[in-house]
């Protein structure tokens, strides 16, 4: 009996090595080329112009920070530590296959950070391209998806980060600006394809552009008209500045049925994020209600999530949303006593609430005019239906454009800074 048990153990032990994982399919790091960013532009006859930004780890510490633009081993440290190559091919896998004819490493998507669509390509539709991406087992769904003004190749060619040694770190910084300043929606691949498949919300992407006026004499800077109105109604490529990386990420690209149809500027993007409850904090500028032409600066953040209620009676839709925002008074150009007078501070709270309501309603109306629920009110509306079939038959998007929307903003200044009054300067 013991001998049989011993024999069974020996047989089991002899079979165990065959059950253990081996290294027969290993891929050495030195044999791979990691694609950091992918750009997709439109060509004729269902062909695409595919651009790869490929990292070169061995060069990541070379050069000095600064410069920008050009690519191909010149300019910033990140550019020196990468290879930019563009291929005409029908799909991304086909472009990777063709690239293997001159890149002596196996191309990999394991460390891809962003996919950028050219504007013309995006207007024709991104559904097929996204389908190919999501089927690839290497590509992660937490990568950025964005639309570049003009074409993606020009954005990638002129994007020369000044402060980072790699494009991977650069895209992490882009993500940080979503939560730190609310300047773009920070859309990830999984979020986009999920929203695109829902009838209760339309998807969006980050808007990118190259600022062609970023070089030259600062005296040539032209002030956008909206700045005089206390609004930052600009998009990527329009920041009034000189110097720094010419690539900008500012604003939102709006999609319908997988196709690009319009954009939101910086002011509209922040309004959208507030309405969606995806807003954290940002600096905000408004016209002084007491002094014409003067502006007031706030550091605004979300106090609590928005309260949304959607009522449906027949084909009539009624939406009520209440927002709770709070902020710190950073500064004002006038000599008003906002920081030292409780009455003046309360009036400022009321005027700011009204101004915010107006700006937020402009975004809602813009979505209705486009026939889109860009805020995502449909998420709350479908709670009025017992089954998913009833909800889909209601045709929310078609009826939303005529919905009655009531918006209320509760804004409260929490802090007024370390000094009550404006500094007194002795004049002679």
Domains parsed from the chain with CATH numbers? 30-264 (no CATH), 280-421 (3.30.300.210)
Output the CA torsion sign for 152, 154, 156, 159.
negative
* Rounded-to-integer distance, Cα 311 and Cα 309, Å: 7
* Rounded-to-integer distance, Cα 195 and Cα 176, Å: 22
Please, which residues have CB within 8 angstroms of residue 322's CB and are 6 or more apart in sequence?
A: 306, 307, 308, 407, 408, 409, 410
Output the CA torsion sign for 94, 156, 130, 255.
negative
pTM: 0.87
* Rounded-to-integer distance, Cα 67 and Cα 163, Å: 10
* Mean pLDDT calculated for residue range 96-124: 95
Is it the case that residue 65 has pLDDT exceeding 50? no
Residue of higher predicted confidence among 416 and 131 = 131
pLDDT of residue 1: 58
pLDDT of residue 26: 61
SS3 12: helix
pLDDT of residue 177: 86
Q: How far is CA 102 from each of CA 95, 224, 270, rounded to the nearest angstrom?
A: 12, 46, 44
SS3 128: helix
Strands in 281-287's sheet, in edge-to-edge order, are 281-287, 295-313, 316-332, 404-415
Range of 87-96, 325-334, 343-352 with top mean pLDDT: 87-96
Bridge partner residues of 410 (DSSP)? 324
- Reported as a pLDDT band with limits 50, 70 and 90, residue 421 is low
SS3 121: helix
Residue of higher predicted confidence among 424 and 254 = 254
The mean pLDDT value of the chain amounts to 87
Is it the case that residue 17 has pLDDT exceeding 90? no
- Reported as a pLDDT band with limits 50, 70 and 90, residue 24 is low
Residue given tokens 């112009």 in the structure block: 49
* Rounded-to-integer distance, Cα 267 and Cα 283, Å: 11
- Reported as a pLDDT band with limits 50, 70 and 90, residue 84 is very high
- Reported as a pLDDT band with limits 50, 70 and 90, residue 68 is very low
- Reported as a pLDDT band with limits 50, 70 and 90, residue 341 is confident
Angle ∠(14,15,20) on CA atoms, nearest 5: 115
The four Cα atoms 63, 64, 69, 71 give a dihedral, to 10 degrees, of 10
118: which 2 tokens?
A: 């050219």
Please, which residues have CB within 8 angstroms of residue 94's CB and are 6 or more apart in sequence?
A: none
- Reported as a pLDDT band with limits 50, 70 and 90, residue 21 is low
């Amino acid at each position: 009996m013991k001998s049989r048990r011993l024999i069974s153990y020996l047989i089991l032990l002899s079979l165990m090595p065959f059950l253990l994982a081996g290294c027969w399919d290993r891929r050495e790091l030195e044999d791979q080329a990691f694609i950091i960013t992918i750009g997709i532009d439109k060509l004729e006859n269902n062909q695409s112009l595919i651009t790869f930004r490929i990292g070169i780890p061995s060069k990541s510490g070379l050069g000095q920070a600064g410069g920008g633009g050009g690519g191909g081993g010149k300019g910033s440290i990140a550019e020196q530590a990468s290879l930019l190559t563009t291929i005409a091919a029908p799909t991304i896998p086909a472009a990777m296959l063709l690239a293997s004819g001159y890149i002596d490493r196996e191309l990999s998507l394991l460390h891809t950070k962003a996919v950028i669509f050219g504007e013309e390509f995006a207007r024709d539709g991104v559904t097929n391209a996204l389908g190919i991406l999501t089927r690839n087992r290497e590509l992660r769904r937490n990568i950025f998806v964005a639309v570049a003004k003009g074409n993606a190749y020009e954005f990638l060619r002129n994007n020369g980060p000044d402060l980072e040694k790699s494009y991977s770190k650069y895209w992490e910084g882009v993500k940080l600006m979503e939560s730190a300043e609310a300047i773009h929606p920070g859309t990830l691949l999984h979020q986009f394809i999920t929203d695109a498949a829902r009838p209760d919300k339309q998807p969006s992407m980050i808007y990118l552009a190259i600022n062609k006026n970023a070089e030259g004499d600062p005296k040539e800077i032209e002030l956008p008209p909206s700045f005089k109105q206390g609004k930052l109604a600009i998009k990527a490529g329009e920041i009034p500045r000189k110097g720094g990386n010419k690539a900008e990420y500012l604003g939102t690209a709006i999609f319908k049925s997988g196709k690009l149809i319009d954009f939101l500027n910086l002011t509209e993007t922040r309004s959208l994020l507030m309405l969606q409850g995806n807003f954290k904090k940002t600096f905000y500028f408004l016209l002084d209600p007491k002094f014409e032409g003067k502006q007031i600066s706030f550091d605004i953040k979300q106090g609590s999530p928005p309260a949304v209620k959607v009522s449906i009676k027949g084909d009539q839709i009624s939406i009520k949303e209440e927002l709770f925002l709070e902020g710190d008074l950073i500064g004002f150009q006038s000599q008003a006593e906002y920081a030292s007078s409780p009455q003046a501070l309360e009036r400022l709270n009321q005027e700011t609430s009204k101004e915010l309501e107006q700006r937020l309603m402009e975004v809602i109306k813009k979505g209705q005019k486009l026939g889109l629920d860009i805020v995502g009110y449909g998420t709350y509306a479908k709670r009025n239906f017992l089954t998913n079939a009833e909800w889909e038959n209601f045709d929310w998007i078609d009826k939303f454009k005529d919905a009655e929307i009531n918006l209320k903003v509760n804004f409260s200044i929490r802090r007024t800074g370390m000094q009550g009054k404006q500094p007194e300067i002795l004049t002679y």
